Every structure is written in C-alpha cells, then in structure tokens.
Amino acid sequence: MKKQNILDRLRSGVVLGDGGYLLELEKRGYVKAGPFTPEVALEHPEALAQLHREFLRAGSEVLQTCTFYASREKLRSAGYAEQVEQINRAAVRIARSIAGEKALVAGNLSLTWQYAPDDASSEGRVLDLFRQQIALQVEEGVDFFIAETFHYLGEAMLALRAIKEAGYPAMITFNFKQPALSRDGRTPVECALELERQGADIVGANCGRDPEHMLPIVEQIRKAVKCHVAIQAAGFRCTDEVPYFMGLPQFPLELDPLQLTRMEMAAYARQARDIGIDYIGACCGVTAAHIRAMAEGLGRTTEASDKSPDLEIHPILGPEKAGKAAR
C-alpha cells in the first residue's frame, strides 16, 4: 500500500508523532549535554536507528530526522561545522531505513540561534542555513518538514519560506516560555494566524512545556486557525510559576524525577484529541513507553502492544489487580 502524504493522512484522522531524541540519546551516552548537537547520526548510527525503531514499534506514524540543531552555525559551536552535510544526510538515511513503508519521515529544522530582529542581515544568513539543511534532507528523501521550537515569529517565517520554496508541506511550531509570547511579542494565536496566512499547513507548540501547560495554548490556536494543529509536549512536570522545563533548576541533568508517567501521557493524547488537535506527538522526556501508551490511549494497537502490561500475571500484583483474594 502506498503511503499517504501527511496532509491526506491528517484529513483522515489524528496522526501520532514520536518522542524526544537528543535528551534520550544523551542519557544513553551518545549526545553531549550542553551543545545537544546531533553528531550521533555520524558517530553512532546504530544508537539513533534503535531509538527510531522503538518509536515505530510503539505506534509513531512519523519519524523525525535527528537534525535538530544540525544547522551549520549551531554545529560550529560544538566543533562539527564541517560535518553539516554528512550529519544531515546520515540522519535522513537512518530515519528512512527504519520508517520503510510504515511511517512518514519528517525532515527536522529548528531555531538556529542566529536570528537577530534588530540586524537586517541576519535574515539572509538564517535563510541560507535553512536552505542548506532543506536541500540536503530533500536529496536524501523526506516526506514533509517539521520546523520547530522557535522563539521568534520572524525566524519561524523564514523557515516556512524556505520549506515552501522547496515545495513541501510545513509544520511550524513554537517553544513558548513564560509569558507565552514569541520573543517578538506575539501571542500564540497571532503567531499561528500569521503562519497560516503565509501558507503553513500545520501550526502549534513544541517542547518546553508539559501537557498541562501546553494544552490550553494549542486549544486557543485550534479555535483560531483553519489549518491543522500540532502539539508536541515535553514529558517533564513543570510548575505554574515555571511552565517550561528549561527554566527549572533541575534542567538539564536532574530532570529524571520529573518525568511524567505513561498514564499521564496517555491522558494527554486523549485530551489533545478531544480538543481537536490532529497532530499529536511529544518531545524531550518522552520515550517509546510513553508513545505506546499514547497510541493505546487513542484506541490503537501497535507492534509493541504484544508486550503491553498484563499485571494480572504478576506474582505479587496479580490477584489484587484481578480482584481476587490476595492469599
């Protein structure tokens, strides 16, 4: 069966995305905390392939290429500027090899840290960085693009422009901190409306906030736009005072006890569906166990569902869970 493209797929129902790559691969020893750049695609391709495989088995219908922070200038900060081409190409090839015909592959772009609203020349430089990554990823074969976690609407618009020049569907998302405004002072709804006006196919929020602090934002966006809406929440428990995990004192090395449970992520997927969000994925802190729970929470059975919990068989929990006499 030929794969549908992302827009056909969204028209026929919720699309389940994947989870986070760089923080998880950091925990596994393949990514350096600090730069959080994705040279893993070159240095440990089997580690990246395995994480893709886990998400696919867990029910992800889209695999994102591990090219977050793979723009030339961000790679330069970690000493990998000369490998920009190899890293982008390798990451797409690995995602493709695992996705096969079972999942779509989303080329991934992210904020470049080079955008400066007061410096007119930064626009051209940022556009060139996006165009370079897009050309490489298109050559290796992606189905659409996710350009994510922007702070500035201005930079998000440049990413959208570069994706549309290449002729691909575009999902554009923001990482909203506190207050929930872009750094150029626009509300989430204003950002979404402007992106929709300029041709974005999917708009939404990504990373930073946990489900509790992200769902109300995408609900507002859902009511305002006609295009598809995406949510990719982080899997770390935030607070009302600091609703994004990068602002918590535990970031980045002591987040473990803040990780949300699979049940909480399953509830998140259902809540997102119920408010009309049609692209439901996740980001940092979200593993395959969470994605499987999200898929099953949406009523789906995944390849990994044959290993889903059956606590009735557990020697200690079983009788109690099954409502039988404990002894």
Rounded least distance, CB 87 to Zn ion, Å? 18
First CA to last CA across the chain, in angstroms?
52
Which residues, in sequence order, are bridge partners of residue 172?
147, 203
Residue 283 binds to Zn ion (criterion: CB under 5 A): yes
Helices (H), the chain: 6-11, 22-27, 40-43, 45-57, 72-76, 84-99, 121-140, 153-166, 188-197, 211-224, 262-274, 288-297, 318-321
Q: From the CB of 231, what's the least distance to Zn ion, in Å? A: 12
Q: Is the dihedral of CA 319, 323, 326, 327 positive or negative?
A: negative
110 versus 193: smaller Cβ distance to Zn ion: 110
284 contacts Zn ion (rule: CB under 5 A): yes
Q: Are 12 and 61 in contact (CB under 8 A)?
A: no
Q: Rounded CA gap, 227 and 159, in Å?
A: 18
Residue 260 touches Zn ion, criterion: CB under 5 A? no
> Is there binding between residue 25 and Zn ion (CB under 5 A)?
no
DSSP 91: H
Q: Among 160-168, 194-202, 262-270, 279-287, which window interacts with Zn ion (CB under 5 A)?
A: 279-287
Q: Segment near Zn ion (CB under 5 A), from 136-144, 191-199, 278-286, 296-304?
A: 278-286
The interface region with Zn ion, picked from 165-173, 201-209, 210-218, 270-278 by CB under 5 A, is 201-209
| Nearer Cβ to Zn ion (21/144) | 21
Beta carbon nearer to Zn ion, 32 or 161: 32
From the list 115, 190, 188, 196, the residue with the least C-alpha distance to 158 is 115
| Shortest Å distance, C-beta 232 to Zn ion | 8
CB of 183 to Zn ion, least distance (A): 18
Closest CB to Zn ion among 169 and 235?
235
- Shortest Å, Cβ 208 to Zn ion: 7
Burial of residue 303, with CB atoms counted within 10 A of its CB: 0-12 exposed, 13-18 middle, 19 or more buried = middle
Name which of 127 and 238 has its Cβ closer to Zn ion. 238
Closer CB to Zn ion, residue 227 or residue 286? 286
Stretch that binds Zn ion, among 8-16, 56-64, 97-105, 275-283 (CB under 5 A): 275-283
Q: The tokens 């290429």 sit on which residue?
A: 65
Write the CA distances from 178 to 65, 199, 248, integer angstroms.
Answer: 28, 27, 12
Question: CB-based burial of residue 238 (10 Å sphere; 0-12 exposed, 13-18 middle, 19+ buried)?
Answer: buried
Instruction: Please give the size of the binding site for Zn ion, defined by CB under 5 A.
Output: 3
Are the C-beta atoms of residues 149 and 172 closer than 8 Å to each other? no
Q: According to the binding rule CB under 5 A, does residue 282 interact with Zn ion?
A: no
Question: Shortest gap between Cβ of 89 and Zn ion (angstroms)?
Answer: 23
DSSP state, residue 61: S
- Contact set for Zn ion, span 202-221 (CB under 5 A): 207
> Residue 176: how many CB atoms within 10 A of its CB?
26
Among the candidate windows 54-62, 260-268, 284-292, 319-327, which touches Zn ion by CB under 5 A?
284-292
The footprint of Zn ion (CB under 5 A) covers: 207, 283-284
